[in-house]
Amino acid sequence: MNMLYVYGALIVAIIAEVIATTALARSVGFTKLWPSAIAIIGYAIAIWLLAYALRFMPSGIVYAVWSGAGIVLIAVVAWIWYGQRLDTAATAGIALIIAGVAVINLFSDTTLH
């Protein structure tokens, strides 16, 4: 399988999850129709694309990249759009997540089956 397709699916899964999580926060416990619908559809797309990536990559790698990148992007979106600030410890933790995802992708031989 072409690595570009697998990583493309994983990137789109991450974007779908970030959109879904942002909408979920605005759904007010699934009481608002459009944010709720966006959250459900976004998570469905993310899971479907994760299942595709799991056909070619180990589950630990897929989940580490998906969740790590999702955490970082959600924090950035919350900061830019909603003014949510992070303290020093949270920023350091996110930097470690970024470093971990980078190490996996740059140095691990287990990224593709």
At 107 the pLDDT is 86
Tell me the average pLDDT of the chain.
92
Per-residue pLDDT tens over the stretch 5-21: 999 999 999 999 999 99
- What distance in Å separates the CA atoms of residue 50 and residue 58, rounded to the nearest whole number? 11
Q: Are 66 and 10 in contact (CB under 8 A)?
A: yes
- What distance in Å separates the CA atoms of residue 38 and residue 46, rounded to the nearest whole number? 12
pLDDT bracket for residue 2 (50, 70, 90): confident
What contacts 36, CB < 8 A, 6 or more positions away? 23, 24, 27, 30
* 113 pLDDT more than 60: no
Q: Is the whole model's pTM more than 0.95, yes or no?
A: no
- What distance in Å separates the CA atoms of residue 79 and residue 89, rounded to the nearest whole number? 15
* 111 pLDDT more than 80: no
At 83 the pLDDT is 93
What is the residue extent of each domain of the chain?
A: 3-107
Closest CA to 38 of 27, 47, 49, 28: 27
